[in-house]
Amino acid sequence: MTILGLVAAVLFIIALRGLSSASTSLLGNRFGMLGMGLAVALPFLAGDELPWAVAATIAVGGTIGFFIAKKIDMTALPQLLAAFHSLVGLAAVFIAGAICATPEAFCVATVADRIPLANAIEMSLGAAIGAITFSGSLVAFGKLQGILSGKPLRYPGQHKVNLFVALAIAALIAAFVYRQSVEYLVFAVLLAFLIGFFLIMPVGGADMPVIVSMLNSYSGWATAGIGFTLENEMLIIVGALVGTSGAILSNIMCKGMNRSLPNVVFGGLSGNNAASTAQSGAHGNVKLCSAEDAGFIIKNASSVIIVPGYGMAVAQAQHVLKELTDALRAEGISVKYAIHPVAGRMPGHMNVLLAEANIPYEDVFELDDINHEFGSTDVAIVIGANDITNPAAKDDPNSPIYGMPVLDVEKAKTVLFVKRSLGAGYAGIENALFFRDNTMMLLGDAKKVCENVLKAIKG
């Protein structure tokens, strides 16, 4: 069984390696599924006498998860991840409670013994982190789903309150470890639930991709903490992998948004994130464009760069873009896709959608690899990618997104911006690109607009 556990661990590591590249992501995902299936099967393969209810619970949970994943829209993947993270955190809390109630059943201690010091620390930390993950993920889900406002909810002295609650949690955990009284752990977990809300509510919608990644990391550390208590190598390995990879990804995302990790984690610690989102200084006249005019402009171009954003995801326009790409290449026009690290609502959101439409991986370029090409590009087509194309990030020191690396779309000879309306983006500010002389707006549903442009090009 030790060998099978090692095989499962290796499969998880190979899965992470595969997920690091779009071309190998599908294979990596399959390795991860295989590793998780083996890990779940290990207790049964070991011949442990498990109650039939355990197998039934696994079967029911797996079935529910399968149908949810099959029916979920691609646009809802970020909130689905947040919801799943919340369940991982809640599971850690429940396991910690079960260990406290019957430590002998988990071979942590006999009835007469105290829970060992190391186990008490690991278990209480896992429970606290799990509680924060649960409540924080619920808030993230609410903001991504539109149930809660994406605007930061701040109040005077919020950081002092958070610090006080964090210190109280630490004191209660210390008291639990020393006195072994369940009441202390219960109060620590309740406060952890509370601070999860306090930490995520002040975070603005523009920072949600980082929050999703960060909560993923939290769920991993909660799992690892409980794994140490149960002496379960699989939980430790999987938790450490998820926790570490999530933390690394969060840091990468923060660099992509010119944020510091503490800035996001603590709900806008610096002044830049707390800047007013009511205005961005953008003003001027907007040029509206018809699909026929856009088709004429694109057909007479020699090079086109398409910048997908959340508008493409909402309209499910990726398949039409694939048809548009094929039509343009048939005319001898060069077509590339430019992806910002935080486009959409989670890391890799646009990559997944483009892959779904069978757009070749070699046609998709990251910000650093394609930004220098906009200056020599005839047409840039922006599909709902608002904040990540906003020149205010470079030009306006008072903008909330100032300093955030953005795609240099405004340098293209002509910018065709497809958007439902002239409303503000997820960061709550107007896009200065709308008012540039070389920008033309195509207002409407992205899929319908792209279909009309495609018709104009074909005919």
Catalytic choice (363, 369, 387, 437): 387
- Write the DSSP assignment of 80-127 as a string of letters: HHHHHHHHHHHHHHHHHHHHHH-GGGGTS--TTSPPPHHHHHHHHHHH
- Write the DSSP assignment of 306-333 as a string of letters: EEE-HHHHHHT-HHHHHHHHHHHHHTT-
Instruction: Give Rg (Cα) of the chain.
Output: 25
Helix (H, G, I), strand (E, B) or coil at 393: helix
Question: Dihedrals φ, ψ of 381, to 5°?
Answer: -105, 115
Question: Hey, what long-range contacts does 373-376 have (CB within 8 A, 24 or more apart)?
Answer: 373/305, 373/336, 374/305, 374/338, 374/407, 374/408, 374/409, 374/410, 374/411, 374/412, 375/408, 375/411, 375/412, 376/303
Burial 60-70 (b: 16+ CB within 10 A, else e): eeeeeeeeeee
Question: Dihedrals φ, ψ of 214, to 5°?
Answer: -65, -40
CA dist 263 and 202 (Å) reads: 11
The label of the residue with tokens 């990596």 reads: 28
Contact, 309 vs 344, CB < 8 A? yes
Nearest to 444 by CA among 284, 294, 337, 329: 294
Where is 349: in which H helix or E strand? Answer: helix 349-356
Q: Is 395 a catalytic site residue? A: no
Catalytic residue positions, numbered: 387
